[in-house]
Structure 1
Amino acid sequence: MSPSPEKATMVDFQGDHPQDWPATQKWILMATIAVPLFLMPLSSTITTPAVNDIATEFHITSTITGPLALSLFLLTYSMGPILLGPLSELYGRWPVLQAGTLFYLAFDLGAGFCTSMTQLLIFRLLSGVGASASLAVGASIVGDVFRKEERGLPVALVSLGPVLGSCLGPIVGGFIADYTSWRWAFWSTSLAAGGFLILCFLVGRETYAPVLLLRKKAELIAEAKRQGNSEGRVWRTPFEKDETVGQLYRRTISRSLYFLATQPIIQALACYYGYLYGILLGSLDNTHWDAALHRALYRVPIGAQICAFVTDRVYRYQVCRNDGVGRAEFRLPIMVPASLLVPIGLVIYGWSAEYKTHWIVPDIGIALPLMGATIIFQCCTSYLLDTFPVYAASANGAVYIVRGFTGFGFPLFSPEMYAKLGYGWGNTLLALLALVIGCPIPFILWRYGERLRAASNFADQAK
């Protein structure tokens, strides 16, 4: 027979919630998590300029095998959060992040010593799994430590890293390929990963509220036992449910797939996020972007900065208009103009490249979709954090499932598409799909988002 409710002791925060921590401590954590969020996407594309050197050394003649070194990493990098995101909700953010980074370090270092293309592809596949740990927990840490009205700048920080890292990867890889061996592409990123692990050891601190309360509960039980007054008492946290460890494990691990199958909000954002990510990676693998892309990289932070400083102002303004009541949909207005930048930029770049116009035109054409995608990624992350605060890692993991498939597939088919359609019609097709897939989403969620959240058993859970 279970104890009476009077004997149950509820363990909760008392001014020590991560959102109550000093701002300095929060930003130290943000600066720390920004390192792998930049490093891992850079590692994904750093091999692009060395594809020919790798193929020559390993006597590879297939035009598909080379790009697989990029696509296989991206596949497991984006699919890894299916497992690691829910695990972070079971064991905590930092243990998963540190273990994943160590796993990445081992196989990334091994890739630099491989003696065949088969070994390289296997090492890239496995290193992508470890690299995905930062992707699984990065945005969730923001939701852990920052309140809704404070998330604009930190979300910009964690969203900028993957975009900037993916863009800078080919540049860094090209420099390495020109002046050293392609193997240093792996050794250099391994050294950086090792430095990050040391940084984690020095400043890392758990942020996930349910795990922190479980630790607090264990300390209280131990203290009660030492004092001899634990007899007949039950200790619980607000997040615990009556289930076995096995049931908890199965429920947690399957949550991302369940979200993708059942939550319309996640399904809509996953399609748009995945499509934009596929465009970005497919374009980065296209060497004709190089000159304009290098110049456009300086515009990427502009999109992040715009979203960082505007999104919180827009959110607070909407809250004031709504009698002080916040809604997740207040993250969506800035997504509307950003969703138009993508197709406009693709059309400008496609036809200016087709007719070989002055460099400023394709420069603008590339900069616009990069800025638009950066803002949209941030809006999607913020919306998911507000909608699924306790299960943010699983929600983002569900989005990354679709992102993984598009990141894997686009670099493989985009060269063939451009070869057959040309830059003009190829990018026009991508622009039309962006209009059809993405532009209606902010309007649909603005109108029906609150109703969809009310129908979900996982949305708007208390922190």
Structure 2
Amino acid sequence: MASEDAKLNADTIRTVDPTDIELAPASNPSKTDDPFLVAFAEPFDAENPQDWRSGRKWAVTDVLSATGFNRIMVSTIMAPALSTIAKEFDMSSTESAMALSIYLLATAFGPLAIGPLSEVYGRKPILHASNIWFLIWNIVCGFATSKGLLIASRFLAGFGASAIYALANGVLGDVWRPEQRGRSLGVYLLIPLLGAAVGPIIGGFMAERTTWRWMFWSTSIFQAVMIAVSFTSFHETYAPLILRRRAERLRRETGDSRYYTTDERLNANRSPTRVLGRALTRPLRLLAFHPIVQISSLISAFYYGILYIVLSTFSDLWTKQYNESIEISGLHYIAVALGEIAGSQICAKLMDGLYHRLKARANGEHAPELRTPSIFPGALLGPLGLFLYGWAAHYHLHWIIVDIGVFITMLGMQITSMPMTAYIMEAYPEHTGSAGAAQQFMRSLTAFLFPLFAPTMYNVLGYGWGNTTIGLIGLFVGLPAPLIIWYYGATLRAKAGRIY
């Protein structure tokens, strides 16, 4: 099944960043060739994040995971209380929907700056700064006295929250090797995936029993705790920065200015302003000129938009069609959480198992395209779940059938998205943060836009035909795109390098 393109070594045909070609050295020297080159020792270097002991790797991963849980939970926690908030601030239905989704719009633009900044200044300072920024504006949301202030502070909080999307790919790519990709992604996603579904459950009980403001106050308390934990447990993972600090230490201690890193050599003739400017434009250039980023972003964005259609309309289904209370309607989001968790754990084993098998068939050569076969089961399951969910809701069948349909939908979408994330991480090992930011830009746009037309779609088509339409589009998008990557991914990566 594997084509010659898919068997090509990713180290041989790697994507060359267009900003670096003009100054890239003719060949990459090794430490053996040049004693003044500062690089990680082989086969083991204690400062190399990929050689860290497992406990330290998991500590960094868990900090990101817990932080992601809170930030993602805040994106959906308002959903059950929208009618209450709209009444208090005299908001139209569009304005109340905007108060919920403006947070997601911010997560589209935030990574475009945060991802590249983490490749210039390192992951650690960006994480700490974004944590504090998010805390401040989330507190402001809880004390908002007007709809304008609520919407504005939600946007600014979302900008800070978006750092988790920009940093996660980069940090996981920094510390985990390809052989551990499935397991590391599965463990990392375990907690954040709960956030999107747990948010409406918690929000439903708070909306019914206390003021909606506690949604923001309680998550701010949790965020303050996570800030304290991250300051003590999170270590810098960005290899070029770690090596740069090592080179600076050697130059200082020996008085010899000839010590350098590969990164310093590439940027030797560039001013700090130019380096920063090129870094900040990299995500959009990747999205504009690299077909594999475009294809993977299209797949991820479509399924992410469906997720937020479900999250934003699920409560209304139960309160308006099944006449359940807000509290009880929130409990149905458990099906969403269980589907995503099951999908992440199944896909983790599927990804690693298929990767080892396909790598063996490719004579032990690693290529990012080996991730794509894992996508196909999810590309089929997601639309099937939508069909079941939609027609069960259309005919008012027992609630368990609807929840099973949602469970299958979330299961399929998770199995689809994880290999795409792994593919981007391995196709762009030197600029994982920027590539992830480009992908997240599209994902967040659909998460913002899809819920805006979802109520109208369901009013016009009903749940049956509405979900069938989305499911058919999902089959049209979700099946051909991975085939393109499987057969032509290596060629497209090489061509991008030659052109740019």
Question: TM above 0.5, one fold?
Answer: yes
State whether structure 2 residue 126 is matched by structure 1 residue 86: no
Pairs within 5 Å for 1:290-439: 290=329, 292-439=332-479
The residue number in structure 2 matching 1:266 is 293
State whether structure 2 residue 304 is matched by structure 1 residue 277: yes
The residue number in structure 2 matching 1:447 is 487
CA distance in 1, matches of 2:359, 2:407: 32
Equivalent of residue 64 in structure 2, options 16, 23, 33: 33
The residue number in structure 1 matching 2:25 is none
Per-residue CA deviations over 1:24-43 (Å, capped at 9, x if unaligned) read 11011111110111111100
State whether structure 2 residue 329 is matched by structure 1 residue 288: no
CA distance in 1, matches of 2:271, 2:496: 24
Equivalent of residue 198 in structure 2, options 162, 165, 168: 168
- Of 255-264 and 330-339, the range deviating more from structure 2: 330-339
- Of 90-99 and 280-289, the range deviating more from structure 2: 280-289
What is the Cα deviation at residue 164 of structure 1?
2.5
Q: 1:270 to 1:396 in 2, by over 3 A?
A: same
Secondary structure class of the residue paired with 1:254? helix
The residue number in structure 2 matching 1:52 is 83
What is the Cα deviation at residue 264 of structure 1?
0.4
Secondary structure class of the residue paired with 1:456? helix
The residue number in structure 1 matching 2:225 is 195
State whether structure 2 residue 12 is matched by structure 1 residue 12: no
CA contact (8 A) 1:173 1:185 kept: yes
CA distance in 1, matches of 2:194, 2:413: 12
Per-residue CA deviations over 1:358-417 (Å, capped at 9, x if unaligned) read 333222211111011112221111001111011011001001111121111111110011
CA contact (8 A) 2:193 2:341 kept: no
What is the Cα deviation at residue 293 of structure 1?
3.5
Secondary structure class of the residue paired with 2:430? coil
CA distance in 2, matches of 1:11, 1:102: 34
CA contact (8 A) 2:193 2:337 kept: no
CA contact (8 A) 2:86 2:93 kept: no
What is the Cα deviation at residue 238 of structure 1?
1.6
What is the Cα deviation at residue 159 of structure 1?
3.6
State whether structure 2 residue 177 is matched by structure 1 residue 147: yes
Counting matched residue pairs gives 448
What is the Cα deviation at residue 89 of structure 1?
0.3
CA contact (8 A) 2:66 2:192 kept: no
Secondary structure class of the residue paired with 1:9? coil
CA contact (8 A) 2:134 2:159 kept: yes
Per-residue CA deviations over 1:422-451 (Å, capped at 9, x if unaligned) read 011111110111111121111111110111
Let me know the Cα RMSD of the aligned residues.
1.8
Identity %: 38
Q: Unaligned regions of 5+ residues in structure 2, if any? A: 1-28, 319-328
CA distance in 1, matches of 2:81, 2:52: 45
Q: 1:161 to 1:452 in 2, by over 3 A?
A: farther
The residue number in structure 2 matching 1:104 is 134
Q: 1:333 to 1:27 in 2, by over 3 A?
A: same
CA distance in 1, matches of 2:303, 2:196: 13
CA distance in 2, matches of 1:139, 1:158: 10
Per-residue CA deviations over 1:194-213 (Å, capped at 9, x if unaligned) read 11110011111000111111
Pairs within 5 Å for 1:128-147: 128-147=158-177
What is the Cα deviation at residue 96 of structure 1?
0.6
CA distance in 2, matches of 1:255, 1:437: 26
CA distance in 2, matches of 1:451, 1:211: 31
The residue number in structure 1 matching 2:262 is 238
The residue number in structure 2 matching 1:209 is 239
CA distance in 2, matches of 1:262, 1:185: 41
What is the Cα deviation at residue 118 of structure 1?
0.5
CA contact (8 A) 2:107 2:441 kept: no
Secondary structure class of the residue paired with 2:259? strand
- Of 310-319 and 293-302, the range deviating more from structure 2: 293-302
CA contact (8 A) 1:296 1:364 kept: no
CA contact (8 A) 1:139 1:155 kept: no
- TM (norm. structure 1) is 0.93
CA distance in 1, matches of 2:337, 2:240: 39
CA distance in 2, matches of 1:394, 1:427: 33
CA contact (8 A) 2:335 2:404 kept: no
CA distance in 2, matches of 1:18, 1:100: 22
Secondary structure class of the residue paired with 1:424? helix
